[in-house]
Structure 1
Amino acid sequence: MLELRKLSKSYGGRPVLDQLSWTFKAGEFVSIMGDSGVGKSTLLNLIAGLDTPDAVNGESPIIVDGIPMSGLDDDAATKLRRARMGFIFQAFHVLPHLTLLQNVALPLLLNGLPTARAAEMLDAVGLAGREHDFPHQLSGGQMQRVAIARALVHRPALVLADEPTGNLDPDTADAILTLLQREIKATGACAIMVTHSQLAAKKTDKILQLSKSGLQETTIVNPFEQ
């Protein structure tokens, strides 16, 4: 589903990611852990096409569903993101002038799909009956749940999640991770979650550690150590 081929990124001459390679499979829920500043959020932004990798000769360093990202112009990249990807950002990016239902329905409208599933997803994240509320009426944790519903509503092939449970209480976080698992298995999507939480990572199929040496598969001995 997603291939990274010698992906590198530097800022002001300082390397953040260096020759990173990995293959993520369809139907796989993967968490990425690592120290702060190691490049986890940068990696998600590069995969999403929201940032540009360092120039390389030859093949594209990011291949999404068989499509080289570096070969796409802005319009084609936007269409690919809109149709094939779902994003859960730390900063939510919930649109303040739209109701909760309108926020969640937006990916469906942009892709020309029926919007009935928007209400279903709000129910799935515990916000049934709040369809006509606005974001300013919500807590941070509730806005995060709206963002998660919006990311999943159009059944994307690739889900990118940056600390999706960081603003949620433990019970809600567990319910949201279960929802992510269910959606991924039902649709055959690939999901990549950046997290600092060992409990959250333990819910995924595979745990990767990002360091200056690259990506390496790891395990968690005691998931109750946060």
Structure 2
Amino acid sequence: MQVPALECRAVKKAYGNGRVVLTHLDFILQPGEYVAIMGESGVGKSTLLNLIAGLDTPDAGTVLIDGVPISGLTDDQATHLRREKLGFIFQAFHVLPHLTLAQNVGLPLLLNGADMTRATEMLDKVGLQGRGNDFPRQLSGGELQRVAIARALVHRPKLVLADEPTGNLDPDTAHDVLTLLRDEIKSNGASAIMVTHSLAAAATADRILILTSAGLQALPAAA
């Protein structure tokens, strides 16, 4: 029996003010599957990604990556798992301004002790050929998001988490970025979750789920 790439079992999370955002959430992501998660603001979409990435801890329940419960890992083990198996794409890019594009993209390779030449290959793949020595201040928003995608995928992670990856982009650039993201995820054989408010963005995934207070549900056919 194939082990899920990701499994959430009865996950619960409340904010500091006591407001519950996730209640008994169950979810399975199969290897190679690309899922989009939509829902109203404040329902807990970004919180869910943070829990999956181990950046936050559920109040109850378990998150498993490749069958391993991340809550049982030491800090060092959790850090190693994120470096090796996860790729995270943020809406705000989080590109480091004092590093060149090649250094930004190559950071996961450096942390994993891997060959840095793939950083240049990934810049080529995202349409930034010859820009490795440039700095983020020289790029447009769409180009910065391409750098962020290249960095998230450069080490061939098995699980990609994308939080509103096109939220700051114009429609044409968003389309290009979404096509690139899907192509890279599929070519690497990765599993992926994209949180988005955009139905057009969500439509590029294999399936769409809606997060509500009742949990994750399939998008109604009428939508």
Q: What TM-score, normalized by structure 1, do the two folds share?
A: 0.92
Q: SS of the residue aligned with 2:144?
A: helix
What does 1:79-158 align with in structure 2 at a 5 Å threshold?
79-158=80-159
Aligned position for 1:10: 14
The one-character-per-residue Cα deviations of 1:27-82 (angstroms, maximum 9, x if unpaired) are 1110000001111111101100111110x3xxx51000111111001110000000
Aligned to 1:166: 167
Give the partner amino acid of 1:48.
Answer: A
Take 2:221 and 2:160, find their aligned partners in 1: how far apart are those partners?
23
In structure 2, C-alpha distance between the alignment counterparts of 1:13 and 1:200, rounded to whole Å: 32
1:97 aligned counterpart, secondary structure: coil
Alpha-carbon distance in 2 for matches of 1:41, 1:15: 14
Distance in 2, matches of 1:166 and 1:218, equals: 21
Separation in structure 1 between the aligned mates of residue 222 and residue 96 of structure 2, nearest angstrom: 40
Amino acid at match of 2:33: E
Q: Which portions of structure 1, spanning 4 or more consecutive aligned residues, are displaced by more than 6 angstroms?
A: none
Cα–Cα, structure 1 residues 116 and 66, in superposed 2: closer, same or farther, change >3 Å?
A: same
Shift of residue 183, structure 1, vs aligned partner: 2.2
**Cα distance in 1 between the residues matched to 2:95 and 2:181:** 19
Q: Which amino acid in structure 1 is aligned with residue 55 of structure 2?
A: L
Whether contact under 8 Å (1:27, 1:189) holds in the other structure is yes
Q: Is the 8 A contact 1:41 1:162 kept in 2?
A: yes
CA 1:141–1:221 in 2, change beyond 3 Å: closer, same or farther? farther
1:187 — aligned with what?
188
Mark the CA change 1:116 to 1:203 in structure 2 (over 3 Å): closer, same or farther: same
Counterparts in 2 of 1:15 and 1:170: CA distance versus 1, 3 Å: same
Structure 1 position 53 matched with structure 2 position 54: no
Residue 219 of structure 1: CA displacement?
5.0
Q: Which is worse superposed, 83-92 or 173-182?
A: 173-182
CA deviation digits over 1:5-27, x for unaligned, max 9?
Answer: 00010112210111100100111
Which among 23, 30, 40 is matched to residue 28 of structure 2?
A: 23
For structure 1, which runs of at least 5 residues remain unmatched after alignment? none
* Kept after mapping to 2: 8 A contact 1:101/1:118: yes
In structure 1, how many angstroms separate the alpha carbons of the residues matched to 2:221 and 2:125?
29
- Structure 2 unaligned spans of 5+: none
Offset, 1:115: 1.5
Q: Which amino acid aligns with 1:32?
A: I
Moved more, 77-86 or 137-146: 137-146
Q: 1:207 touches 1:219 (CA, 8 Å); kept in 2?
A: no
**Contact 1:17 1:39 (8 Å CA) reproduced:** yes
Aligned-residue CA RMSD in angstroms?
A: 1.4
SS at match of 1:61: strand
2:45 is aligned with 1:40: yes
TM-score by length of 2: 0.93
User: What is the one-letter code of the residue matched to 2:195?
Assistant: V
Q: In structure 1, what is the Cα distance between the partners aligned to 2:204 and 2:27? A: 21
Percentage identity across aligned positions? 67
Distance 1:206 1:98, change over 3 A: same
